[in-house]
Structure formats: structure tokens, C-alpha cells
Structure 1
């Protein structure tokens, strides 16, 4: 009996010890991923202060706004430096490094704005008087309407004279031209703000000002257009027939931005990575082509897959079927937690024909935008859209756009560590592309047609690295980029044109298009370190990763592997195995 009691006590003690060890381990993990405090508080205060200033000093490019933003920026750099970095935990050190990086980049951009402004302010000798009016308007001070009318009329005549002088200029630097356009946009917004505040409320203002205001606003719009013409005349890439005018930023600025994004590779090394990934795609594409009976003519196999589009009106149902299949696959493999509310609240919309000129494929997030022909498109446009959005191509990208890609990203970033919005395309697009790679590895592509569809998109992401870096280093023109997408990847020409236009004319960062594949490869490398090694399950890794919120992947690695960054951190992670 005693021995039984002793055995029971020993057994209970062992259970208790195990429970304590599990709890201790859980607490350790929770400590690692916990919401931070010291830097968190400073960031929250900065975002609130900066928000107040941006909402008050609304006239972009104005000296008053720039000076005030620089002032608050420097004050928060001092607050950050006052913290004891050595006493911070890993997550807080990451926040420190990233917030310091954010402040310094904002300071750099404001100083660059000031440099550009000083270079072009001779074109706007009337600007200070307009800024002064908006300053008085903010507090609702009385104005002398007749003086305002005279001021606007004088400015109008000045702009007319400036345009005549400007017409004699041979060319202007792209950076200065863009800044001048921004200054005019700010001046017009200040004029509009003043006009709309007093007009109709102040009888004498309403009598004196409307006509001079309309003339001045109109001539400023024409002035801005004339500046655009001068920019085009010296764009590093001449019109090559594509009609696409971008702004190649050059090798030096590319390297600066890569360092900012914590990518420890040169542009040439990134092109080498893309070419190696391309070679893998080529091999897999040949395998699928042979299975389909086309031998080594993979373009013919690709052409066959393009013809397997659904009828007009049936695309939403086809995409829903793919969504259901991919979510079931993710759940059956226990890859990540998908909250029921996230599943409940995503929704569809149809892209307009105008939107499809910039983005010929669907986009995602909480709102899933479907790109497919409308009745207003030409016959050729309709066919190219249908062919480029066939179900086998879409097989790679439905989970990219919905779960566990962009839709789950949005859901998580709105709920976890919401102060930590260090936005970067390497995290945003890298995560979504990683899921294309992962589901390929897990066997989601069942038939050779499915594999060709998924490979098309992976080849496309390789091509994005090559054509965007060659463009921004001045080696390729937009037309060469279009031809590359058609010849090397198999794009429909209209879709290739839309892709290149989106890359260089839209609001995308110059590094955005390389971020898909490079970010995905970073996360894949981190997956090998943590999941393939047995340290974490897929679900533990994916849940932990997405709940850290947006940041460079190297900083995710520091948190998940508990490797605190140095205060003077410099990127060094070589994540790719050549």
C-alpha cells in the first residue's frame, strides 16, 4: 500500500514538474512575442503627434509644413536615444532599430524635399503670399477681399510671364520637375482651401475673389502641364514606342533602398538569384509540358492552358471554387490559423476596364477584385483578359490574394501589434508569394495544367526582378521589359504592357516588384531554420510570423529566433543558397 502511495506521489510530482516546465516554456515564448512597452509608447506618441501636424499643415511641400515635421522628427530621435537600449528585450530592440530607421528615412526625405524646393523656388515667387493666406485661413481671420483679389490677379500675371520664360528652357531634371508639380498641387490646394472657406460666407469676398481665383487656379494647372512636357524631353528613357514614361532611379539609389529594406545583396546578385530560380522553373515547366504531350515546347503547353478559360460571367464562381479548394487544403494540412470572422467577411468586386489597364490580373485583401472582360472592351482585349486569368493561372494566386495571403495579412495587422506598421513590400508581397511556394511544395498543384499555371506566376516573379532592376539601372527600356515578359514568360502582350505600366508609372516603389520573390525566399529560408529543423510546427511558425505585424524579414528572424539586433544594426543576412 505504501509503495503504491509513493509511486502515486512520485507520478504526481513528475506531472507537476512537467507542467511547470511547460508553463515556463510557454511564458518564455510569450515574453518573446509580447507587446513591447518603452519603444511602443514612443512610437504611439510620435504617430499621434505627426498625425496632428499633417492634418494641420496640409499644404504639401510648403516650407512651414516641412520645418515643423523636421522639428518633431528630431525631437523623437532624441527621445529614442534617451532609452537604455541594452535593457530592452529582443522584440523591443527590434522596434528600436526599426523606429530609428523610420525616423532617419523620414528626415532624409524631408531634407531631399527641401533641396528640391530650393532648386525650383525661383519658378514660384508668389508662393509665400499664398501660404500666408492659408495660414490666416486656418484660424478664420478676416481678410481684405479686394487685396486678395489683387494678389490673385498679380500672381496670375506672374505665372503667365513665367510660362513664357519657362518655354525657353531646354529641359529640367525629372526630380525637380516632379517637385515643381508637387508644389503647384500644394499651392492649388491652399488656394482652394481659402476660397471655399470664405466664398459664400463673406459677402465682400464673394463679390471680389471668385473670378481672380478661377483664373489663377486655371493658369497654375496649365503651368503644371508645361512642366510635365519638359520632364519628358529629358527622361533618361526616351519614348521607345511603348508610351510608358517612368523614372529610373539609378544603381546608387537602388543600393540605398536595398539597405533600407535590409536586403544584403547588390542588384547584380539579385538578378543572379532570379536567374537561378528561373532555371528551376524552366525544368519544372518542361516536365509538365511533356506530361501534357507537348514535349519540350512548353510555350505550346502554356498556350493550351490559356485556352482553358471560363465563359463570360462565370469567373466569380470559378474563383470561389478555387478559394474553397485552397482553404480546405490549408486546413487539412494544419498550416495556419484562419479565424472564422476573416473567412466570413472577405468579399468580391469586379475591376473596371480602366483599372485593368494598370492591373490586368485580380488583386486581393479583404476585398477580392476580379479582372475579367466587360462588354466595353474590344474583341482582342476580351480574349487576352480571359486567357490571362484562366483557372490554372489563378490556382497560384487565389491563396496569394485571400488565405493565407493578403486577406489574412490585413486581418492580422489590424489586430496584432498594431503600433508596428513598418510597411515593406518584402513582408507584404513576400508573405503572399511564400504561400505560392509552400503550397507547391505541399502538392497543391495536382495536374500538369495546374503546375504550368503556378509556374507561369513563379516565372513572372523571377522576371519582375530582372526587368525592374535592368530598367532602374538604365539598361532596359519599357518596351524591352514588355518584350521580355512576352518572350520569356509567355504573357499576353496587353497584359505585359499593363504589368510594365503598373511597375513604372503607378505609385509603386521601385523595389516593389522584386519584393515578391525576394521576400518569399527570405521567409522560405526562415521556414527551413525553424520548421524544417523541428523547432516549430508549420502552424506555430505561420501564426507567430503573421502576428508580429509588418517589418523587414530579417527583423522577423531576430524576434522568432530571439537574436537581438545591435543598436547600430546593419543588414547582413545572406538568406539565399547559391
Structure 2
């Protein structure tokens, strides 16, 4: 028995040692590159520091992260870039990009805080108090009470000075001021919640000054907000949608970050070309249905094919089964059995349908369809906009081989690559819409009209979102464009525009669908249509590299040697 135990121990040691050796090797079997340890530690250390230095816009947090990212940059630069594998070079460039973007954000924070210094200083003492709280130091409760009382008085003085001097702040500075005061309030709450009840003296002395200061911070934040220069605020054009157009300069900076070497104007031109193609195909389908060039009438018939109330989930299941059967029949990619087994459904609430009028995907397919709470017109618009022919075009986008499979594979392949970008996430899911169109997945002209609705919608997203951020269009113009040119139900168009400009999405998110899809489409032509890879090999290879800018996927799959001063140059649209 002892001999067996010893052999088991030796075998375990051998296997463990072997695993460690493999994990350190930058090869295809291990699934990692030379940057693995650096990347894992960077993410873990950032998480630890974020949880410790948690007060937004505090000087302590800003200084600590400036030092952290500068230190990480120094560590990164010790790698011999030219000796790295292609995957290692990609990781190097993307980690450098991430670090530099964080340093840029911190420098912008420093500039804005400096401009606001006079007005955000009155409660700065709260940062020191919260720092002591983190280590549980015993506080002089009587002194804390007096200090909080003094801060409330300082805020009153600052309020009077604001009214007297009447300075104006840009919307960016106003938001920074609001977030800074919110951070100070959070520091105050953190201290009070920690000591109250556990320290009787603290509770006795501090409760009343705390309550007064807590309210004073709320009031002061409102006073600061009122000082915004109204000329820097987007106007309500009657739609009720108030977004934050960022302007051409910031659009170009963000496009550069996402490795998209096109200007906003060039992307709008690409979208218009894609729109023109869809227009022509839409007329073909309309004629096949007997409506001639009246595509609106043909689309109206398609919209009226909605399923009865209560039957949408089973209709989605039917479409999913057809989609997956098609993928398997054509041997397009590997579908892990557990990925098929574990997706599920939920229903989207009426309130959320105001910004998500269509279904959403991932491991859970979230379905938009009317409930008894909705008024009659909204019920009909929801049913018409989620008819089976429209939905058939996007079930694979949301589940397999789109978002659900993406998440499933990301959790199992090179998980250390936390380079999330909508150009990969939404681009890959959209690519499948393009590919399945080419492979005659739509079975009828009605199906084609459904797929074309979404294809036009993706082009429209580029056009309306960029025009909005360039300051050319208002939200209402964006809504009207979706109704007039794509055929949206008006309520759904309003939800789409509200989601784009008031939801938690970056300015480039809406254009990432079609743009990223076209990148993957071009990469497929380069590698599959040329005979260098089978289509299944291509799809499986993409999903095993995890999320990143598509140009970096291209570099890995083509084993392209990169330069340390790499700049995006892949002009992927050639129509």
C-alpha cells in the first residue's frame, strides 16, 4: 500500500511538474504566449488595487494607479519584442495599448480635477478619514464629529462663493465635479457604516454631523451641476433622448484605439455602399412576393406574420433548431455539446423593452414580446418587429455561432486575454449573418426581407451614430432615418436610438456590428476562399484566440510578424 502511495505521489508530482512546464511554454498546445504571466498578474493586481483604492477621483487612487501603470509599462518593455511569437507580439501590443489608455484617462482626470480644485476641495479631508477606516484604526470620535461639522460649513461657504462668482463649467468638467463629490460622499458613508454601532462613542458623537454632511454633499453636488455651461449641453430635440456627442477628434482617437484605420466619413461611405446593395436585394425580394418595387408593402406583409401571444418562445426555439441544423449540416464549426445543452431563455420586461425592443443573446436568450402591461399600439409594434422572418436572421447572432458560443469559448481559451472589443464581439456575430446569406440560409423572399431588414439596420447604425457624434444629426433625425429607410416600427426605432445614446454603450458600439462583420468577412476571403484553411478550421481558430481587435486576429492566423511601433493599416473594405 505504501509503495502504491509513493508511486501515486511521484506520478502526481510528474504530472504537476509537466503541467507547469507546459503552462510556461508559448506554444499552441498550452494555449498561452510568453505574455501569459505578465497578463494574468496585471489583471489580478489591477483588481486588488481597484478594490482597495475604491474612491473615484481621489488623489490617492489617481497617484497609485499612475505609478502602477507606469511600473507595468516598464515591466512590459523588458520583453524582447522581436523574439516573441506572433501571439506574444499581439499580447504585447494590446497590453501596451491598455496601459497607455489608462494613463491617458488618468492624465485627463488630473487636468479636470486641477481646474475644479477650488470647488471640490472643501470635503477633501474625507479621503484621509476613509484611508484610516480601511485599516480599522480607532478614531477620536469627538474630533471626527467636529471635522465633519467644519466640512459642512465649508460647503456652505463654497456654495455662497459659487453663487457670487457664478463660474461656468463645460459638461465634461461638470460630470467630473459630480463624480468627485459622489466619491467624497461614498468615503463618508464608508467611514460611518464601518464604525456606527460597533463604537458607542462614534455613534453618539458622529451620527448627527454625519447626517448633516451627507445631505450637504448632495445639495452641493446639485449646486455644482447647475453651473454647467448650457451651450456645451446637447439639446432636447423633442425626442426626450439626451446623449453625449463626442465630436470628430475623439471619434478618430477611439477608432485608432480599436485599430480601425478609417475616418468617420469613410465609414459612413462604406455603410452607404452596403445600404445600396441591400436596397437592390430588397427590391428583388419584393418583386418575388408580387409587390413590384413597393418594398414597404412587402415588408408590411412580413411584419404581419408575427406569432400569437404566448407562442414567441417556442417560435424562437424552432428557429434556433433550424439554425444549428444548418451549421452542422454544412460542417461550419465545432459546437461543444455543453454549449448546446446549457443555453436558456428569459423574457425582457416592458420597461427594458423601451431600450431593447428586440431579443438579446448570450448564454440566456432574452426575448422581447408584449405583456399585458403594454398599451395596444406598443403590443402590436413589438409583435410586428419581432416576427419570425426578422428573428430568423439573428437567432444565430445571439446564440450559436454568435454570442453564446463566443462567451462559452472565451471562458475556455486564452482567458487571460481580456481585450474585449465590440468589433470582435458584435462583428463576429454579424459576420454569421453575412455568411449565412451567402450560403442561402434564407428559404423564401420573406426570409430574405427579414435578413435584409437587419443588414440595412446595421448599415444604418453606422450612419446615424457617426452623424450624431459628429454633431450633424439630432436623435429625432436618427429615429426618422430608421423608420423611413429601414422600416422600423417607430417605438422600436426610438428604443434603438435611446439604447445607442443613453444606454451603457460606447460611442463606437453601434458601428462595430457591421464594421467588425466586414473585417471577419474579408479575413474569411483571405484565408478560406484562397484555400489556405477550411471554413471549419477558420471559424474554430478564431474562437480559440479570444476577443481582440480583428486585425490582431488576422496577424495571428496569418502568422504575421509585427513591429513594436505597430500602427493599424489593414484596409479591409474593397468593394
Same fold (TM over 0.5): yes
Correspondent of 1:52 among 48, 59, 65 = 48
Counterpart of 1:86 (choices 82, 90, 94) is 82
**1:548-572 deviation line (CA, Å, top 9, x unaligned):** 0011000000000111211110000
Deviation, 1:229, is 4.9
Q: Distance in 2 between matches of 1:305 and 1:229?
A: 49
Which secondary structure does the structure 2 equivalent of 1:337 belong to? Answer: coil
Q: Look up the match of 1:242.
A: 239
Q: State the match for 1:375 in structure 2.
A: 372
Residue in 2 that maps onto 1:407? 404
The CA distance in 1 between the partners of 2:400 and 2:228, in whole Å, is 42
1:179-202: CA deviation from partner (whole Å, max 9, x where unpaired): 112112211221111111001111
Q: Which moved more, 1:172-181 or 1:193-202?
A: 172-181
Residue 298 of structure 2 corresponds to residue 322 of structure 1: no
Counterpart in the other structure of 1:139: 135
1:241-269 deviation line (CA, Å, top 9, x unaligned): 11111111111111111111100111110
Checking the alignment, whether the CA contact within 8 Å between 1:235 and 1:245 is kept in structure 2 is no
Cα distance in 2 for partners of 1:339, 1:480 equals: 44
1:313 alignment counterpart: 310
Q: Structure 2 length normalisation: TM-score?
A: 0.93
Q: Residue 98 of structure 1 aligns with which residue?
A: 94
Is the 8 Å Cα contact of residues 281 and 455 (structure 1) preserved in structure 2? Answer: yes
Q: Which residue of 1 aligns with 2:386?
A: 389
For residues 241-320 of structure 1, the aligned pairs below 5 Å read 241-320=238-317
Q: How does 1:59-458 map to 2 (within 5 A)?
A: 59-166=55-162, 169=166, 171-231=168-228, 233-458=230-455
Decide which moves more: 79-88 or 517-526: 79-88
- Distance in 1 between the 2:114 and 2:388 partners? 53
Once the two structures are superposed, residues 402-456 of structure 1 have per-residue CA deviations (whole angstroms, 9 ceiling, x without a partner) of 0000000000111100111111110010000001111111111111111111111
**Number of equivalenced pairs:** 549
- Cα deviation, 1:483-515, whole Å, max 9, x if unaligned, reads 111111111111111111111112211011100
Structure 1 length as normaliser, TM-score? 0.92
**Where does the alignment leave 5 or more consecutive residues of structure 2 unmatched?**
1-25
Choose from 526, 536, 546 the match for 1:529.
526
Q: Residues 226 and 281 (structure 1 numbering): CA distance in 2 closer, same or farther, change over 3 Å?
A: farther
Q: 1:164 to 1:314 in 2, by over 3 A?
A: farther
Counterpart of 1:14?
none
Gaps of 5+ in 1: 1-29
CA 1:278/1:229 → structure 2, altered by over 3 Å: closer, same or farther?
farther
1:36 CA displacement: 3.5
Q: CA RMSD in A?
A: 1.6
Comparing 81-90 and 518-527, the one that deviates more:
81-90
Moved more, 509-518 or 115-124: 115-124
- Residue 27 (structure 1) aligns with: none
Q: CA offsets, 1:11-48, max 9 Å, x none?
A: xxxxxxxxxxxxxxxxxxx9468533431211111112
d(CA) in 1 for partners of 2:318, 2:73 = 51
Answering whether residue 481 of structure 2 is matched by residue 484 of structure 1, we say yes
Residue 35 (1) aligns with residue 40 (2): no
